[in-house]
Structure 1
């Protein structure tokens, strides 16, 4: 059975997931305090989930000393963005991270979360694309009609990206409905493509770099072709947490913004060195060899400042597919740059790598 239909089933998938989380959220968080926990030193303890083998911008910020009054408490790893922000919505974690379209859907379903800073994106060094075998008969978007594309999950960034590309290339909804998306673990994507189990596959970051080294693949398109350079995902806090702990959120966002800006201005070899130190000292049994494939975070703005288009794009796409209950939802309802020093002028956008304050 095809896993992919049109934009409407995509939004229905989103709605089902977020509705279930929201129902639990009401019972889990009712009457609970949003005040930040403190450790023995009086520092705020912020609970979060990480990603195996990866260093997140908050983890880098802590390593660089940009979070002096905050202790990050790792609760384990998460399988994807929707799961991460759901954990935040129900109060299991203090912040989460996800694709911006998933955040829009969660907010639309009634969950009071707000994006405070971008944390990954696509640029000329780091991007996401659909790849086929070099000798594949697939040359254009129309060639995917009746064929399949492997993705890591449904209802998230890659499905949105593929849908938009197919539409921009002139496919009708009926034709798009004939493109099948198959869920494949990212670690197996290249193998599944080379074995002919799918006609195309989404590749990015480390998996893409390894596949390129082996050769024999060809890019059909990447997200720069569809959207241009842009940040694709954000970190979110619950609104009640922000209201109760504005000074903690401000230090957190400031520190993460400085860490992001550090990666944007620093020699990539220095970033790799920091990543290796973090992975090798946090005792999670992670492989540091993959750090060599780091190229950039892909974030398009200084210090992860969020731009309106990074949310309005997905809001408009969801509206076209009747995927929003609140048709008046605007990008400004979902994010804030209030705490980001590169948005409010505390630091210049071209400040040095330490985020030197303006005199």
Structure 2
């Protein structure tokens, strides 16, 4: 029988710290020769997701990264894995990653920095956490003893589920009776309909096919909030300051382009990007895109954007009050986007 996931550490940052120490101890910083454009590198490694266009990918297609070219390194299975990829050097930036995981990363002493927002929560008519239409589950208490699907442990699904259970009045002991089940990418709907899990995050076509009922959604729990971030390793930033600035500012411009363009225009651009990259994927999800839900202009941060995640770690006893310096979580200095 699978043990309740609450008894496990959400994400094993200690192993990443050890890995980072080894890398820093064995490798001396390289002296980078600048290109004619004043950049340390014209190649930028990243992770992607099937059928999805990220702000980073949109930035390249709009020409905001030129002459830098993106180098696709493979599929991201979730935020924690994306952060680990950036910290290990397998990619130069994380995939869009849950802000709570980024806070836990900094709290654990891992040498990484949040550089720009990637997505947020908003009044999305499509996304949410669903049960089958005839399911007896109608409240948080009904989830005791049940299974919940997720893409990866330690990511946003886990935090939001725990928040929902707490708001539903469950005790820590009762919460421990709810089990997270890690599902392969794209299999949440099938797992729910086959009753391998009792609750799963769904969106778009999964909902249109019917037979499911929404139990809750992120927006109901936290309102308008930056919940997704891009993380870069401090080492990469130090060795590639100009490239970092170019990429981060390009992402900021892409975020604002999507805000200032019509929804149809943005989706058409997304379809064009998917067609050009020629990967085994389909564009069925694109028509459900509304916006990235980033509340700030240019994806910049303020301290209050991270307060909810810090307060949660303090409440769980993983952080002491005033233990973490917010300035170590994020930096806007690489984001040169300005409306002026």
TM-score normalised per structure 1: 0.85
CA contact (8 A) 1:280 1:286 kept: no
- Match in the other structure for 2:28: 32
Partner of 1:286: 281
Give ranges in structure 1 of 5+ residues lacking alignment: 348-357
| Bigger mean CA offset, 110-119 vs 18-27 | 18-27
- Which of 213-222 and 178-187 deviates more? 178-187
C-alpha separation in 1, matches of 2:164 and 2:111 = 31
- Give the secondary-structure state (helix, strand or coil) at the position aligned to 2:195: coil
CA contact (8 A) 1:126 1:296 kept: no
The structural deviation recorded for 1:244 is 3.7
Instruction: Determine the C-alpha separation between the residues in 2 that align with 1:273 and 1:37.
Output: 39
Task: Show the 5 A alignment for 1:201-220.
Answer: 201-203=200-202, 208-220=203-215
1:263-287 Cα offsets, whole Å, 9 max, x none, are 1221111111111221111233332
Which one of 243, 249, 257 corresponds to residue 238 of structure 2? 243
The unaligned stretches of length 5 or more in structure 2 are none
| Contact 2:55-2:254 within 8 A present in 1 as well | yes
- Does the CA-based 8 Å contact 1:3-1:181 persist in structure 2? no
Shift of residue 41, structure 1, vs aligned partner? 7.2
Q: Does 1:196 align with 2:189?
A: no
In structure 2, distance between residues paired with 1:257 and 1:35: 28
Q: How far apart are 1:295 and its partner, in Å? A: 2.2
Q: In 2, distance between residues paired with 1:307 and 1:109?
A: 21
- Asked if structure 1 preserves the Cα contact closer than 8 Å seen for 2:99 and 2:306, the reply is yes
Query: After superposition, where does 1:235-274 map in structure 2 within 5 Å?
Result: 235-274=230-269
CA contact (8 A) 2:46 2:93 kept: yes
SS of corresponding position for 1:95: coil
Distance change >3 Å, CA 320–CA 35, structure 1 → 2: farther
The alpha-carbon distance between structure 1 residues 332 and 243, as it changes in their structure 2 partners (threshold 3 A), is same
Q: 1:322: how far off?
A: 2.4
Matching of residue 23 in structure 1 with residue 13 in structure 2: no
The match for 2:111 is 112
Aligned with 2:100: secondary structure? helix
1:335 aligns with 2:322: no
2-structure distance, mates of 1:95, 1:262: 21
Selected match of 2:312 from 308, 317, 320:
317
Show the counterpart of 1:154: 153
Instruction: Give the match's secondary structure for 2:192.
Output: helix
Change (3 A) 1:138 1:62: same
Cα shift at 1:321: 1.9
Change (3 A) 1:319 1:282: same
Of the structure 1 ranges 85-94 and 112-121, higher mean CA displacement relative to structure 2 is found in 85-94
Contact 1:29 1:90 in 2 (8 A): no
Q: What's the C-alpha RMSD, in Å, of the aligned pairs?
A: 2.5
Shift of 1:227: 0.5
CA shift for structure 1 position 127: 6.8
The answer to whether the 8 Å contact 1:319/1:327 transfers is no
Number of the residue aligned with 1:351: none
The alpha-carbon deviation at position 139 of structure 1 amounts to 1.3
Asked whether the equivalents of residues 315 and 331 of structure 1 are also in contact (C-alpha less than 8 Å), the reply is no
Indicate the residue corresponding to 1:51 in structure 2. 49
Q: 2:303 aligns with which of 294, 308, 329?
A: 308
Relative distance call for 1:34 and 1:48 in structure 2 (3 A) is farther
User: What's the CA shift for 1:323?
Assistant: 2.4
Is the 8 Å Cα contact of residues 193 and 201 (structure 1) preserved in structure 2? Answer: yes
Could you tell me how far apart the structure 2 residues matched to 1:22 and 1:42 are? 32
Give the total of aligned pairs: 336
